[in-house]
Structure 1
Amino acid sequence: MQDQIILRNHENMMEHFNNNTGHSVSLEPVENYFWNIPNLNIYAATVPDRMHHLDLGLYHYQIEFTKGILGRSSIDKMNERIGAIPRYPGLKIFSKGLQSIARLTASEHRDLMKVMVFVVDGLLSDDLSEVYVKWNEMYILSRLEIFKESDLEKFQKAINDWADLFVILFRKKSDSKMKFPKFHSWIFHIVDTIREYGAINGYTTETYESLHKSYVKTPYRLSNKKGIEEQIMKTIRRKAIIKRRVTEELHKTPTILIYTSKLFEFKLLEASIFFKQQKKNPDLTENMIKGFAKFLKCLDSFFDMLDIISAEDCRIKIFGSVTLKNINILRATNKFQNRPWFSNIAIAMDDAELFEYQSDNGTCYAQTLLITEVILPNKSPFHLALVQWYDFKSKKTPFVYSCPLLKLVEIYNFIEIEAIEEIVHIVPRFDTKDEYFQKYN
């Protein structure tokens, strides 16, 4: 790689300019004003910017080159997979695939980074999946707040590993044979830039463009376009006051579970009749049907565990979602914005249970089937989720692409909603049966 790319300096760039060979190094036919200023190295003065170098630059190239080496049918399959990625809070879903990647924002490119390794899995070759894995490893390292020398060495190795595979896979699809400035700058200059100026997070335009959107663009759109500056300042001030008050309230009062979208309510004694009637409901998805089928047996087990003998006058409420104490929203609904959404969750196992299950560093995963409130006379309501558990697909290779590779198993339980550690994103392994990746957030 080092032999293939010439490091830029004033002398060799001026030589290309004077010899009219600038096109070979992506140099515009315009004399650089800074070449003639003494004691100034313009190539050291302009630091690489992660958002434009990576999010909107090299990652954009990587996706375009990926499309270039895939056939038409594989591109269609890639778009179908992108549209089929399960929902997750804060993650944009591209329901129609990548119809126009040129219009994607940096934030949308970052959303794609989180899922593309699963999208290209098995589409062409292991190397195609691996280049996305190596990209993510490199990108995560680029976001460190503090770099030690050992971190910089690790970062440079991650860059080189990704770049080597990138060139092998996509060189033929690059008109310039990979001779574009962002690629060169990132490989050969970013580590030295960090040594001189500190972590990339301190000088990326990502921060300020994000602030510009929140504090200028959005308030501007909310204005009536008259006395704009005053209206923008009022909007910002109002948002700040609301945010501060909400924060103060959260600290003052203990957060309780907040249920929304009540779907069903019935007496436990009438549950069998209710479930039988619901079998004819055309709007029910497979997950909710499965939850109804396992409901009574799992509730009996839960009551037995708590030595509850009588469930007379017990009432059941089933909800589409509940806001947890950490403000995350747990969902189990057939239709949320016209698509089903059944959240996957992580549960921290206690020491006694760790010997019974294969876990991911003490954490097990499950899919939510039903969100319920169980009300017994003279008792506090039970806030329960009926879940189906995941297990590792293989004990020999429990991790693929550094992610747990899981399968759903025929084990169902009611768990207390308060025991949920976090909501996780689990993505199906496409074109396989009962294989899932747990995507680290």
Structure 2
Amino acid sequence: MVLVIENNLNNKAGNAIIKFFNKHLDLSQLSPLPKNIETGRKFMDKMNISQLSYSKYCVLTHNSQDYFVHYRPIKNCIKNLLSNPDILKNLIFRYENSKIEDEKSYGEQNSGNWWKRAERSISNHANILSIILYSDATTTDTLGKSSLHPIYVSLGNIPTWRRNKEDAKQLLGYLPILSAKNETEKKSSEFKELARETFHNSIKFLLDPLFQGDGVDFNIDGKDIWFFPRISTIICDWPEACTFSLTYKSANSNYPCHFCLVQREDLIDIRKDQVILRNHINMKEYFDSNTSKLAGLEQVNNYFWSIPNLNIYAATVPDRMHHLDLGLFKYQIEFTMELLKKKKSLNKVNERIADIPRHSQLKVFKKGIQLSRLTASEYRDMMKIMVFVVDDLQIEDLSEVYVKWNEMYLLSRSEKFKESDLENFQKAIDDWADLFIKLFQNISNSHLKFLKLHSWICHIVDTIREYGAINGYTTETYEKTPFVYGCPLLRLVEVYNFIEIEAIEDTIHVVPRFDKNNEYFVI
């Protein structure tokens, strides 16, 4: 694209270059070029250059090293979202008491109980601006080896179907991850406490501008609209949920669940009516009395306690892709493989999988199941076949546990839930979980004392009542297409554009790819 733009080449000449490149360069992966120049130009036109430059703020100096938050002001991120005409025409402003057949229903976030309570707490003339954060710790190579923690932002005011598109999120910034000078420091309680404090101080720096003053005005279609920003949900996997809630990260903690105070030994045995939920009041009592460890809580002040209309322990909702596709279903496949090995039936299952004929809508596993290589999409393909693959293997209930999984999984993808639907969903969860535990408890080293299993059984239905359908808790578009939100390899470049590889080849490692449609860079 640099060659085409700098030399003002027309589309015909540009397409000829692409064709020549693809013909004569032997690539083991997909071509790193767009399928045609028109697609490349559209991609560049989508870039909002004015909003993509970063600032940096030194949040800590430790061991003579400065640690920076690289960020875009959160108000700029929100303005960028609200400047998109297609987003604006679908924007949600008020709580909706949705009903289906005279039953209360939960779908979009504004139909949930959280929005209802938040709206009642502000002026009748103002609106809730629902802030959704997404977090995933990662490592990227930029200007040397740096450990970074990306934070993304979206709005619950955007309907789920629209919010799950790439342009409905913004990369808010990168938080630093501290480096210890040696293993002794790394394992020390002082260093762990410093890491937690640094994370929360960084988040405070990013979010505080939203909570200064009496709400915030944003210009929409030429009119100033009065909003009260509120953090609604933080979509994350379990380790990040612990970072936000400041609960112990160890799965062996006596109280490992960030939702409630269940003891580890009771994770899969406790009844829902026995659960004591965490909130900022009871957790702060432990903190103030210096007894945080009795609740599996870090003795560190939690920034989110100060934010109105937020229970950080409930708001850290599970990302459905990591929780189900790459979580519980992955466990089920792994335990099934172990069970089949003991029964000497694994080869038969792999033969059945390899014999499945090709179909355009189905991944073919010709080499059998290779767990280390499976993606979330491939696990979903396995859901379609496993009930048949394990049938009639003389293992009681093995096929049935996959039937129960599929029934539960299909219900989880519902766009709306009536109260009676939630009751049916909870029953489907319990029916699957009972079989799952019966089949695999003795295979699991921990006897299935898994946080994801516990939270799915005990907390997901109440989470739907608070924040709407589970389809709103997804991170796939964040992780599949990071270029839309600000590629980490370009985060410090003043003008966001394509960079000639020769200029940076000694600094980074580039894996050139496009998505399945050859439309977007994937890095």
TM over 0.5: no
- TM interval, short-chain normalised: 0.3 to 0.5
Greater per-residue strand proportion? 1
Q: Determine which structure has greater relative contact order: mean sequence separation of CA pairs < 8 Å that are 6+ residues apart, divided by chain length.
A: 2
Structure exhibiting the larger radius of gyration computed from Cα positions? 1
How does the TM-score come out when normalised to structure 2? 0.37
Q: TM-score normalized by structure 1? A: 0.44
